[in-house]
Amino acid sequence: MTSQQPQQPQQPKKTVYEGIRVLDLGNRYVGTTLASSLMAEFGADVIKIDEPNLEPPPMGGAYVKDGVYLPYKVQGRNKRHITLDITKPKGRDLFLQLVAKADAVIETYPAGAMESWNLGWDELSAVNPGLIFCRISDFGQTGPYAGRRLDGRTSEAFAGFSHIDGEADGPPLHSQMDMGGETAGVWAATGIGMALYWRDLRGGTGQMLDIGLYEPLYRQIQTNVTPYASTGVADKRFGNRRATGLPWVDSHETKDGRYFSYSGATRGSYRDTNLSMGMHMQERFKDLPITYRHREEFHEEAAKWMKERTLAEVDDKFTRFDGASAPCNTAEDLINDRHTLYRDLVITVPDEELGPVRMQGVVPKMSRTPGKVTSTGERPGARNAEVYAELLGLDAAALQSLQSEGVI
Amino acid sequence: MTATQPQQIFEGIRILDVGHVLAGPMTSSILADFGADVIHIENPETGNFIRELTGAAGERTVSRGYDLINRNKRNITLDLRKPRGQEIFHKLVEKADVVTENFRPYVMDRWGNDWETLHRLNPRLIYCRLSGYGDTGPRQVRRAYGRIAEAWGGWAVTNGEADGPALHSGFSWGDTLQSIWAANAIIMALYWRDVQGGGEGQMIDSGLVEPLYRAFEQQIIIYDQNQVSIKRMGTQHEATPYAGVCKTLDGRYFSWSAPTQESVRNLLQAVGLADDTRFNTFDACMEHRAEFQAAVSAWMAETKLNEIWDNFEKHQAVGSPVMSGEDMYHDPHLKARDMLISVPDPEGGKDVVMQGIVPKLSQSPGAMRNACEPMGSRNEEIYCGLLGMSKEDLEELKEGGVIASRTGSLG
């Protein structure tokens, strides 16, 4: 595509991104790769480019089965995987040929790395002025920390998440999820969507997106910088309670050793939280000002009430009285849950190495152009022959020679 | 913007935001940052209740965060529960591209705003419905807020100390993730409608619990393949010994990690353990996980934060100080990146400091127009300007309680 106004198709395209091609150079082992899988689920042709001789990630335990790194089966879905060493002259040349046929490039190298290989914005836009060049680097391409390294996890510390995660008297924590990486991934997909809309509807050109890995999560936490600037007091971690002291928000252990969370943050829902636990007749828990003074008693009573009941019994009470609440689900709960199954949130996809595997379905549901999952994450270079033949017309002999030169 | 550039990305795209609390309003604020005309509709009696949330001492701490999720919008009041309010809302729908809402699934339907009705009124309309568990399924009518997404979506059980309770985050993690996911879906629906020949709108159905469940990508496949659910591990990561959080000599915390083999080598060099055979191969280090964590902790405990971080930079190792609101407020990098901006307070107080625009686009960047304005401050502009009502009509609506029983700040 170029920067000209496109012709309106006669027939509506079947998917959102039919005809849009994305080259993803990003590190396959971090959450940012969600950016291109989201676009792929909604119809984009995503070509994932890995470096030849890619090392496996330093991850073990349950994350690996028979030498296969499991998370990438989800993170790499719907993409066509090729290998290419863009730092070699021949590899660079092939990459530029691919760029000429692409709409977007995503990269996650340290700031300035692409420029050091003569593959900066100037070089890429010269072969394709309509290109959207989406760069997700550690701290962004500019600023005093641009030379420092982050990953998704440590970006959570810089974004202000960890400081407010943990017990009040304990250290700052991380969860087991790559929150920083996954968050940056969905913001990057959104940014590319915006840039495509501007290019194709507004007669704009291609452009560069510059995202610091920590920036999307930082943008999502509204309780850090603004309240500090206005009061001089920074938010801090507070376990399962609210730092504001709002009583009807907490999580407790049940009789069967599970955890159950409730969140009565509005007038209607704190009333229903009281009803669910049979506390509605008690004067001391009547409304916010009164309960605020008795909040320690409230938390104690609630903890005691839950400890005397199984998770199912607790959930049943909260269901009956419409209390805003949920069990703290594990993957085992979710994979068998009737709501996840009803919403197609657990799907089975065939995989070359593992056979049929279960993973999350497409989110969200779009009525006219629903997304779909067609393949799992593939081995590096699984589609070299197909992609190089289709896009650049390279035959088996040409591929063989590139392979012996270590280019692919 | 220079004169040669086309307009802002979403200039001319009108969004009716009937969202409350957080997820709905934040969704439209992302598009507002890039030029969409967002009309935020509040209930005239209560407004968005977040406006009234205060800290324990009654200070407006939480509600100041409201400025971030409602910036760049035009605020009006309208009582959608009243027949006249419904009628006016339908007139606005005819002039809109997008409606966003985050009530439970039946609420908008009850007010005459089901998908079929709105689609008939305006076939090009994109109707973005954010509910707790989605528009269908056994849990669809259940109430949910951000913490419920953390619990239900499988995340909370993986957060917290290994021997402590499942733990919630200290911010609205579930809601805000739903917001960016929804903003992305709206943009996709616009792209299909306007560029891909679709020509018509569609409905987006998103449960609050779903984006977090989906974005925690490894949880289902690991259970499916290895029959284990991921467990919480405090400052550490289950799959690797090469990640942790340690206290520094000067009483701060430093978070470190190594997602690739190369970054493992860099980490070991930065902490001076590259030659230790207990730690310098993955399997050995997994076996000696506790000793490795202790060795890194010991080194950090006798080193100042800035020295640690500089040493990490020297070796290109992955790590960051744990930043508080105060640390971030004073940080030179955030300032250099325009990630901290200062915006005049429309209510006349001191300037509001908030996050800048994300992401940064080189040719069609987003822009700040205004922080959150008082309730109903654009009533006249919208009702008289956009819908062509007279001043008398407006008075009548006020008296009938349809648009305002009071205007101005509730703060």
Spatial neighbors of A106 by CB under 8 A, at least 6 apart, are A22, A23, A24, A25, A26, A32, A35, A36, A134, A135, A136, A188, A192
The pLDDT of residue A1? 42
* Cβ contact, residue pair A225, B354, below 8 Å: yes
Residue of chain A minimizing CA distance to B283: A60
Chain A from 27 to 86: CB within 8 A of any B CB? 27, 29-31, 34, 38, 42, 55-65, 70-71, 73-75
Identify from A246, A342, A343, A358 which residue to disrupt to test chain B contact, counting B C-beta atoms within 10 A and taking the largest count: A343
The model's pLDDT over A138-174, given as tens digits with 9 standing for 90+, comes to 999 999 999 999 999 999 999 999 999 999 999 999 9
The rounded distance, in Å, linking the Cα atoms of A27 and B261 is 12
Residue of chain A minimizing CA distance to B195: A201
User: Is residue B407's pLDDT more than 70?
Assistant: no
The model's pLDDT over B177-230, given as tens digits with 9 standing for 90+, comes to 999 999 999 999 999 999 999 999 999 999 999 999 999 999 999 999 999 999
Place of tokens 């007669």: A203
* Cβ contact, residue pair A71, B222, below 8 Å: yes
Q: Which of B175, B250, B338, B393 is catalytic?
A: B175
Mean pLDDT of A83-89: 97
From A49's Cα to the closest Cα of chain B, the distance in A is 17
Mean pLDDT of B142-152: 91
Partner-chain residue, chosen from A18, A183, A361, that has the shortest CB–CB distance to B177: A183
For residues A96-109, one letter each, b for 16 or more C-beta atoms within 10 angstroms of the residue's C-beta and e for the rest, the string is: bbbbeebbbbbbbb
Q: Where are the beta strands (DSSP E) in A73-120?
A: 79-83, 104-107
DSSP 8-state class, residue A351 = E
Instruction: Name every chain A residue with its beta carbon within 8 A of the beta carbon of B34.
Output: 194
Instruction: Please state, as a whole number, how many other Cβ atoms lie within 10 Å of the Cβ of residue B399.
Output: 11
B224 is catalytic: no
The rounded distance, in Å, linking the Cα atoms of B304 and A328 is 38
Partner-chain residue, chosen from B135, B217, B334, that has the shortest CB–CB distance to A74: B217
User: Is residue A3's pLDDT more than 90?
Assistant: no
Chain A from 119 to 148: CB within 8 A of any B CB? 121, 139-140, 142-145, 147-148
Show the tokens assigned to B292. 């490795």
The rounded distance, in Å, linking the Cα atoms of A336 and B73 is 42
Are B205 and B198 within 8 A, CB to CB? no
Chain A from 276 to 335: CB within 8 A of any B CB? 292, 319, 322-335
The model's pLDDT over A382-393, given as tens digits with 9 standing for 90+, comes to 999 999 999 999
DSSP 8-state class, residue B384 = I
User: Is residue A220's pLDDT more than 70?
Assistant: yes
Q: Does A205 touch chain B (CB under 8 A)?
A: yes
Residue of chain A minimizing CA distance to B280: A58
Instruction: Please state, as a whole number, how many other Cβ atoms lie within 10 Å of the Cβ of residue A338.
Output: 10
The model's pLDDT over A275-311, given as tens digits with 9 standing for 90+, comes to 999 999 999 999 888 999 999 999 999 999 999 999 9
What is the model's pTM?
Answer: 0.96
Q: How confident is the model at residue B60 (pLDDT cuts 50, 70, 90)?
A: very low
Identify from A315, A330, A347, A353 which residue to disrupt to test chain B contact, counting B C-beta atoms within 10 A and taking the largest count: A330
Partner-chain residue, chosen from B30, B56, B317, that has the shortest CB–CB distance to A244: B56
Mutual angle of helices B23-32 and B173-194, in 10-degree steps: 50
User: Is residue B54's pLDDT more than 60?
Assistant: no
* Cβ contact, residue pair A31, B217, below 8 Å: yes
The pLDDT of residue B351? 87
Quote the ipTM score: 0.95
The pLDDT of residue A223? 87
Q: Does A370 touch chain B (CB under 8 A)?
A: no
* Cβ contact, residue pair A70, B30, below 8 Å: no
Q: What torsion, rounded to 10 degrees, do the Cα atoms B334, B335, B339, B341 define? A: 150
